[in-house]
A and B are shown apart, each in its own frame.
Chain A
Amino acid sequence: MNMMVKIEEKLYQNRYIVDENRPHITIKDEAHCAACTSKACTVCCPAGCYSTNEAGGVTLATDGCLECGTCRVICQDSGNIEWNYPRGGYGISYKFG
């Protein structure tokens, strides 16, 4: 079965308390991502926060982040991801978990 899965539709069901303009995860050096051949973050992130951009780099949008830590684990050798928890009370807020 080869169908497109829209991650946005899944995330739409979740409750988020967005900390405007204070992303808890940042890419340190965009040039590093542009040179990265695997860009595994664009596949592995369960919320689809990472996408390849037109310039051949990686764009990160943390609004849908589920705070799982996968990106930090897969990119640990480069250390190019600055990964923090959101401020207290912000971010994903699971109703059921």
Chain B
Amino acid sequence: MVEKFDAIVIGAGPSGNAATYTLAKQGLKVLQLERGEYAGAKNVQGGIMYAHELEKIIPDFRDDCPTERHIIEQRIWLLGDDNYIGTNYRSEAYNSDTPNRYTIIRANIDKWFAEKIRAVGGLQICETTVTELIRDPSGKVIGVRTDREGGEIHADVVIMADGVNALLARRSGYQKEAAPENVALAVKEILFIDPELIQQRFGIKDDEGVVIEIMGKVTKGMVGTAFLYTNKESLTIGIGCLVSDFKKGDCPPYKMLEDLKNHPVIKPLIEGAEMKEYCAHLIPEGGFKAIPQLYGDGWMVVGDAAHFNNAAHREGSNLAMASGRMAAETVIELKAAGKDFSAGNLAGYKAKLDESFIIKDLKKYRELPGIMHSNKQFFGAYPDEITQAAHNWFTVDSVDKRTKEKAIMKSFVKRRSVFGLVGDAIKLVRAMR
């Protein structure tokens, strides 16, 4: 006999965990399937975790959640060939009892979440790959087929939280393959190092943390960003660019990462650290316009699989957790009202998303991915010009300041023309508005 659940959740990342926990806590019979050896084995995140969305799901998460450092300082650096210009924001107010952002090690969080799910009665089964959705003759999803023997399992509703590759939704015809310009490939390493060195080099104490978001010449003119985050006893360093740009270029991603690690500004920060893991993952970067169909008869899609990522603000896991929670709440409400899980009823999930920061923020930046993709000067010419201008301005060499100003302006105009500069400013305003 085929076993039947109220809901099946595919994947044990932030979105799937949020959905499973929310459903199980309300007493629904929920099965979560994860293909990895354990929860987190297939997951990759920078990673910064935003407290607010996790707090909504597990209010007392700080009691035992294995976070790394709470972030008290955010740096944004623009790297030139051998220099950088940047801004830092640091505040003692971030040393509160309820910090807003933490650095995390993804696998630790997912294992912790798995225990929380078990504690509320959710069933998480690992080492199980879902191979396809099972649909009845009308096309309604009624379960999943897995690669285990007798691996057919039924449910009233299936929530796909299987990540950016979204194989199940794509194979079922619910969404198209990701366009190369709508996904970034990011590679990163975790570097273990004496915590005292982290404190000295970043000017922090105890569990205080610093994160650095990086743009500039390290992406070799491609649309992309890099980062360096402080964990308790390690640093994570990574870089990612649009797949469409990697495809056109001749630089392998691991070479780009190695060049970042050897950049004269970065190297002293990571010197002496020992690399313990190398990861790669795709990131949804297409924004609002790349969001696929989100629900249908008997199914919903959440998190990265739904392309929920705010590239402009480097937010992803909070959108994942929020969408997972909203999908679960939709199921709980329908069940309580004795309604079925037809597409018409599951439209309530979309309504929740539309009302939330997820869709509102993605809509706000809907033009940004396209503008970045077709205006490479933001990743090539500008980092060059800005860092050179800073170098010129801060070098004291008896050249009068007006002459310096003129030289800087001339250099910008030569590179982009007056119309180009004005046009770029308008484009940026339009993209960020």
Contact = CB atoms under 8 A, between A and B. Distances in A.
Interface string B142-185: 00001110000000000000001101000000000111100101
Contact of B36 (A43, A44, A89, A96): A89
Interface stretch (B37-45, B377-385, B404-412): B37-45
Interface in B224-238: 234
Interface stretch (B277-285, B288-296, B350-358, B390-398): B277-285
A70 B107 contact: no
B43 A97 contact: yes
B409 to A, nearest CB: 32
A3 B258 contact: yes
B421 interface: no
Query: Could you tell me the dominant secondary structure of chain A's interface residues?
Result: loop
B35 A85 contact: yes
Given A44-B252, A74-B247, A68 B276 contact: no
Nearest to A38: B247
A57 interface: no
Nearest to B234: A96
B250 interface: yes
Contacts of B279: 66, 94, 96-97
A73 B180 contact: yes
Max chain B Cβ within 10 angstroms of own Cβ: one of A5, A45, A86, A88: A88
A73 B35 contact: no
Contacts of A23: none
B280 A66 contact: yes
Contacts of A63: none
Contacts of A88: 35, 126-129, 146-148
A27 B164 CA distance: 22
Given A3-B258, A88-B127, A68 B247 contact: no
B187 interface: yes
Contacts of B253: 44, 46
A7 interface: yes
A14 interface: yes
Given A85-B129, A89-B36, A97-B45, A44 B246 contact: yes
B413 interface: no
A1 B180 CA distance: 28
A93 B106 CA distance: 12
Contact of B165 (A69, A92, A93): A69
Given A46-B187, A85-B167, A97-B107, A10 B278 contact: yes
Given A5-B252, A17-B37, A69 B277 contact: no
A1 B108 CA distance: 36
A18 interface: no
Contact of B280 (A68, A83, A86, A93): A68
A79 B9 CA distance: 29
B262 interface: yes
Nearest to A68: B280
B180 A96 contact: no
A38 to B, nearest CB: 8
A87 B151 CA distance: 13
Given A68-B185, A89-B36, A94 B252 contact: no
Interface of A: 1, 3, 5, 7, 10-11, 13-14, 17, 38, 40, 43-48, 66-70, 72-74, 76, 83-89, 91-97
The 4 A-B pairs of least Cβ separation, nearest first, read A89-B127, A97-B106, A46-B280, A10-B278
Interface of B: 35-38, 40-45, 105-108, 110, 126-129, 146-148, 164-165, 167, 177-180, 183, 185, 187, 189-190, 234, 243, 246-247, 249-255, 258-259, 262, 275-282
5 contacts: A44-B243, A88-B127, A88-B148, A94-B42, A96-B276
